[in-house]
Amino acid sequence: MASRPTHRALMIRRIEPADLTAVARVFQEHDRTPLPSRIGVRRRTLLHYHGLYMHLVEGGRGFEDNLYSAGDDPLFREVDHKLAGLLAPYDRGRPSMREARAEEFYRWTDDAPSATYRLFLEIRVHEGRGEEFEGAWQRMAAVVGGQPANLAQSLSRDRRDPHTYYVVSDWTDEESFQRFSRAPEHQALAETIRTLGTTVRMTGMQIREQQDS
């Protein structure tokens, strides 16, 4: 799994609105080459606002130095040549990519905890008890969702077998889940669930890494 981008650079240039599609096509072709991976680029976003072209690239530590030193790479020269007639410097006195970079002067990051433990359940619900089961799960989900350590949960039903349900529950850590699972409020709801179906499989997993879409 690709690592989460931790560093970013934003370049500013000028563009004619009629050229937006052409520029996007150039990068669609370029991003299929090995160069972005070699440089360490993990995400690219192109934005436009009243004639301004904003190019946001994100990657891991060190990718900016790789980006600026890639000028002699044939693949870099190729994309640069294709863009030459489509983009213009914001300041003609500062035409280079490094000089076109916007200066970051403030950053805020949401320090909400990330999930490290995931519980996966496969439950076979008894014939004719599906509606009751879904209602019981909703009550369970309301209690689980009130736990600070629970970050996400979902209930899915198998498209081919309507009696089979899947539960996914993400927690900040396994210890918090285990502590909650022993609580009386959980035990009572879990017993109701057990009367409506059979747990076919219960798997606890350590989440190694998550990446945003």
CATH code given to domain 7-89: 3.30.70.1090
Instruction: Report d(CA 179, CA 149) in Å as an integer.
Output: 10
* φ, ψ of residue 50 in degrees (nearest 5): 45, 55
Identify each DSSP E strand in the chain by its residue range: 7-15, 41-49, 52-59, 87-89, 117-125, 150-157, 164-171, 197-206
- pLDDT the model gives residue 210: 60
Looking at residue 129, its amino acid is R
For residues 38 and 209, the model is more confident at 38
What ranges do the domains of the chain cover? 7-89, 117-206
CATH tag for 117-206 (out of 3.30.930.10, 3.50.50.60, 3.30.70.100, 3.90.1150.10): 3.30.70.100
CA dihedral over 168, 172, 177, 178, signed as positive or negative: positive
Percentage of the chain beyond pLDDT 90 is: 69
CB of 87 within 8 A of CB of 13?
yes
Instruction: Determine the average pLDDT of the residues in 197-210.
Output: 88
Both tokens of 166, joined, read: 């899947």
pTM more than 0.75: no
- pLDDT the model gives residue 209: 67
CB of 136 within 8 A of CB of 190?
no
Tens of pLDDT, residue by residue over 67-104, are 888 888 999 999 999 999 999 999 988 888 788 889 88
Q: Is the pLDDT of residue 213 over 60?
A: no
- pLDDT the model gives residue 2: 45
- The end-to-end CA distance of the chain, in Å, is 12
Tens of pLDDT, residue by residue over 131-185, are 999 999 999 999 999 999 999 999 999 999 999 999 999 999 999 999 999 999 8
- pLDDT the model gives residue 175: 95
Indicate the pLDDT class of residue 109, thresholds 50, 70 and 90: confident
Indicate the pLDDT class of residue 4, thresholds 50, 70 and 90: low
Asked, colleague to colleague, whether 7-89 and 117-206 share their fold, the answer is yes
